[in-house]
Amino acid sequence: MITTPNVLEAIRQHGADAYPEEGCGFLLGTVTDDGDNRVTTLHRAANRRAENRERRYELTADDYREADAAAHEQELDVVGTYHSHPDHPARPSETDLAEATFPGFTYVIVSIHDGAPEDLTAWSLAPDRSSFQQEDIILPDLKRI
In the bound state with another protein, the residue whose beta carbon lies nearer, of 12 and 56, is 56
Residues that bind another protein (CB under 8 A): 24, 31, 35, 49, 55-61, 63-65, 68, 77-79, 81, 83, 92-96, 99-105, 129
We find the least distance from the C-beta atom of residue 143 to another protein, in angstroms, to be: 27
Q: What is the CA radius of gyration of the chain?
A: 14
The whole-angstrom distance between residue 118's C-alpha and the CA centroid of its chain comes to 15
How far is residue 132's CA from residue 136's CA, in Å, rounded to a whole number?
13
- Of 80, 86, 135, the closest CA to residue 106 belongs to 80
- Least separation in angstroms between residue 52's CB and another protein is 9
Shortest CB 141 distance to another protein, Å: 25
> Least Å distance between CB 132 and another protein?
11
**CB nearer another protein, residue 130 or residue 140:** 130
Q: Which residues of 25-41 are buried (b: 16+ CB within 10 A; e: fewer)?
A: bbbbbeeeeeebbbbbb
Q: Which is nearer to another protein, 6 or 60 (CB)?
A: 60
Cis bond leading into 20, ω under 30°?
yes
Closer by beta carbon to another protein, 102 or else 143: 102
Please give the distance of CA 89 from its chain centroid, rounded to a whole number: 14
